[in-house]
Structure 1
Amino acid sequence: MFVSSISLSGHADIGNNTLKNNTLNNNKISVVCMGDSITYGFCGNGTSYPSILQSRLSGAVIHNAGECGDQTYEMLARFDRDVISHHPDFVIIMGGINDLLLGQPEQVIEDDLAAMCKNSIQNGITPVLCSITPMTYVPRNLKIKTNNLNKWILSYSNVQGYKVIDFNSVLGDGHDNLRQEYDSGDGCHPNAAGYVAMGNSIDINLFKH
């Protein structure tokens, strides 16, 4: 289902902390997007949500640390290398789909996500958690587990005071499926339009200093 990582960066000096045409101009912001194939942009034909975010955060540096096939324990294992080493201002964390598909307990996923957030805070990085995206061609019990994990992500973020992005609501059809117009064909990975929707849904005020 999955592949490796890419890096995106931009250095245009367009201004500081001003909103214009849905774009935040800030040449000092650095963001790492940590995740699996959906962060990487698999099935997006070169489009990913980090690349869309890059176009909206003019002058920022954005690293796409999406690794196809990763479970959250693998994300945690490479967190120092792929996040801390870049010394970013923010890290966007999305993971858990592969864990659920492979039968990992929800508690294990939650502990891994919490550990990444704590590691971020300890290193002066602001964590931004994301709900995981819906899957169409999976058993009902897996959709229930997806919903449970997303409820935990939103609740945990609220309790801890972390920023959160609700990608599930952006891509979901209201019936726990990936919206047809955003489906690459496998019921799991978004197509290019889906990644554009994800990138455009992010409140760029999250990245104001």
Structure 2
Amino acid sequence: MRVTRTGERLEIAPARLIVAGYTARDRASVDHHIAELAAIGVPPPSSVPAFYDLDPRLVTTDAVIEVAGAATSGEVEPVIVRHGGRYFLAVGSDHTDRELERADIAAAKAACPKPVGDTVVEIGPDLSALDWDAVAAESTVDGTPYQQGSAATLRHPGELVERMTAVLGGIPGDLVLFCGTFPLLTGAFVHGSHWRVCLGLPDGTALTHRYETKLRSV
């Protein structure tokens, strides 16, 4: 990964990958997302927010990812990367198997790679310096607008890390944390093949990643 402004290269090999779900600040937004999932048969979570502890090898900056079936879709997410005691902000996509999600959310998330952009912005030694509420997010699928929202609607990453630690215990070493997503513009999942996810920062910086899905060969 490359750090904006300095050009520093980071060799990221996270010890843990955590995908946080149902992270909206207000309960109405959480209920809206739960309803979106219920529409495709996904059961409600046992706790809010939820934390899914996944294989860190799922994290990839590749422009093409392989999926097992056609019923998958991505979601734009702010991603916190902790590396060498420093925190960075990246953009990612919580690509998920929607068919499998109806039976097992954790397994559905674990079934797909987790695309992350190659460019990151340094936050610092802690998360307090991040102007979280000023971060904007959007995504497109096959060129059509899919999501648009503000990180102000999501819990601050500092709070997520505290809650994650309470649930999972302390996590030493390098970490990749997906911080949650935003409502779909149409309210319906789209199983497209070309995805673009983007975060806009208040200083004009845009963190953008594009990727394509291909069916895994048997």
TM-score bucket (shorter structure): 0.3 to 0.5
Query: Whose helix proportion is higher, 1 or 2?
Result: 1
Higher relative contact order (CA 8 A, sep 6+): 2
* TM-score, normalised by the number of residues in structure 2: 0.32
Pick the structure with more strand per residue: 2
